[in-house]
Chains A and B, each alone.
Chain A
Amino acid sequence: MVTALLDTARARRVAERVPDPELPMLTLADLGVLRGVEVGADGTVVASLTPTYSGCPAMAEMRADVAARLREAGYERVEIRTVLDPPWTSDWITESGRRKLTEHGIAPPGPAPRGGPVPLVLSPTRPAVPCPRCGSADTEETSRFAATSCKALWRCRACREPFEYVKEI
């Protein structure tokens, strides 16, 4: 029993350290997509992942990376499960994940909108995202979409630097 618990803790540590393929400064645990790691009585490791966006093309790579790292750590039987419910929210990005994003010039998301009917907001005054480089709030959105599903493009009027911003969903 104790061995199994220790083993689960070890397997979790291995899976938690796997970097995200698109935001490699974050681990899958930082990003909040690793939803669980269990080691069964027969030694099978079951790791659960959830996609950030339905069409996220990095899912296959994440799955393969987690399985590969676990096998390298000596777990022969590895099973990766997809968890769709509850859906990923940017609120699951950890504090350390947010810090690492900022350190790499990517603005972390604000609080995700609450559930329920989603109101349409047509006012141009959406809250400004603080610049991850200089901290200025004098920023503007340049594109609601960027190189990956989870980011938008912004620029800072104070330090003149463009930056990416992880959208809150």
Chain B
Amino acid sequence: MSDDHVYLTLAEGHEDDTRWAYGTGFEDPLHGVDTTVPEGVDAAELAADCVALADDALISAQRLAEWVTRAPELEEEVALANIGLDLLGQARLLYTRAGQADGTGRDEDAYAYLRDAADFRNVVLAELPRGDFAFAVVRLLVLSTWRLAHFQRLVDHPDPVLAAVAAKGVKELAYHRQYAADWAVRLGDGTEESHRRMRAALDEVAPYLGELHTAYDVRDEVADVLRQVTDAAGLAMPVYRPLPGSGRAGEHTEHLAPLLTELQGVARAYPGATW
């Protein structure tokens, strides 16, 4: 060991050590975790559940990252990027778990970079364009509340890896929800303009709530939080107006493909590239 340099150490032991910065060989997020799928767990179903949850997280992380250099204040950029980073971390663990469970052995990159829009299973709300800051706050409030409620149930999942990812995620999501709720109250109870924008954002999100409720039955928990926040913010609860189609079935809006083009561009143009 002549090196104190971490990257040389990372590259060590990989046949193709010029590829480590892009690939996952140097950092399997489930490195050394017991990856046996327990008896009684349907492996295909487990893999599908993990992919859906990972897709929600990855697409949300990408939209949150778009706020870097665009948020109203530096602190909010840092916040939104940090929230995106937590979600990206959850996505990595879940993709890796999916690849083990579905028997393909695909790694996280195969799921994130090498699938087309129709293969993605994220809910549509996650892929809608960035919008204004009020929309970002409302979307984050809804998605983090919904994901948190579902993760709280997944903590008891028979697959120990998914249960562990959920237990870790609960702490993170509670923090994300708190951030979004604080801003929702501040903006809703703020100026005439911020109030108007929050009302518009809630209207915009409303048609996509049905899909969330169909995916996971946590409707009451989500409604409780939204009521608490909208009451404190002087806003009306979003009116439930279901739309046909679901991202969970691969039915997406025209907004997903351009997002993926940006996300996957380098990885697809230069397979195995390093930088």
Q: Mark A residues whose CB is within 8 Å of B.
A: 21, 48, 51, 53-57, 59-61, 63-65, 67-68, 71-72, 79-89, 113, 117-118, 120-122, 142-147, 149, 153, 167, 169
Interface residues of B in 76-99 (CB under 8 A from A): 78-79, 82-83, 85-90, 92-93
Interface mask (B34-56 → A, CB under 8 Å = 1, otherwise 0): 00000000000000000000000
Q: Judge whether B175 is part of the interface by a CB distance below 8 angstroms.
A: yes
Q: Judge whether B69 is part of the interface by a CB distance below 8 angstroms.
A: no
Secondary structure type dominating chain A contacts: loop
Residue from B89, B171, B177, B179 within 8 A of A55 (CB atoms): B89
- The bracket for how many chain B residues form the interface is 35 or more
Q: Judge whether B213 is part of the interface by a CB distance below 8 angstroms.
A: no
B175-A122 in contact (CB<8A): no
Residues in A neighbouring B32, C-beta threshold 8 A: 48, 79-82
Known: A122-B232, A144-B175. A82 touches B29 (CB 8 A): yes
Residues in A neighbouring B4, C-beta threshold 8 A: 68
Secondary structure type dominating chain B contacts: helix
User: Which residue of the partner chain B has the closest CB to A64?
Assistant: B9
Q: Judge whether B26 is part of the interface by a CB distance below 8 angstroms.
A: yes
A143-B78 in contact (CB<8A): yes
User: Which residue of the partner chain A has the closest CB to B80?
Assistant: A145
Q: Judge whether B1 is part of the interface by a CB distance below 8 angstroms.
A: yes
Residue from A56, A67, A120, A169 within 8 A of B9 (CB atoms): A67
Interface residues of B in 212-257 (CB under 8 A from A): 225, 228-229, 232
A142 CA to B83 CA, complexed, in Å:
17
A145-B79 in contact (CB<8A): yes
User: Which residue of the partner chain A has the closest CB to B228?
Assistant: A120
Known: A54-B86, A120-B229. A87 touches B178 (CB 8 A): no
A118-B174 in contact (CB<8A): yes
A54-B31 in contact (CB<8A): no
A79 CA to B31 CA, complexed, in Å:
10
Residues in B neighbouring A145, C-beta threshold 8 A: 75, 78-79, 82-83, 179
A142 CA to B75 CA, complexed, in Å:
8
Residue from A48, A84, A122 within 8 A of B168 (CB atoms): A84
Known: A55-B89, A143-B75, A145-B78. A118 touches B148 (CB 8 A): yes
Selected A-B contacts with CB under 8 Å, 26 pairs:
A51-B89, A51-B168, A54-B93, A54-B165, A55-B86, A55-B89, A55-B90, A60-B27, A64-B6, A64-B9, A81-B33, A82-B30, A82-B31, A84-B93, A84-B165, A87-B167, A87-B168, A87-B171, A89-B171, A120-B178, A122-B228, A143-B75, A144-B175, A145-B79, A145-B82, A169-B175
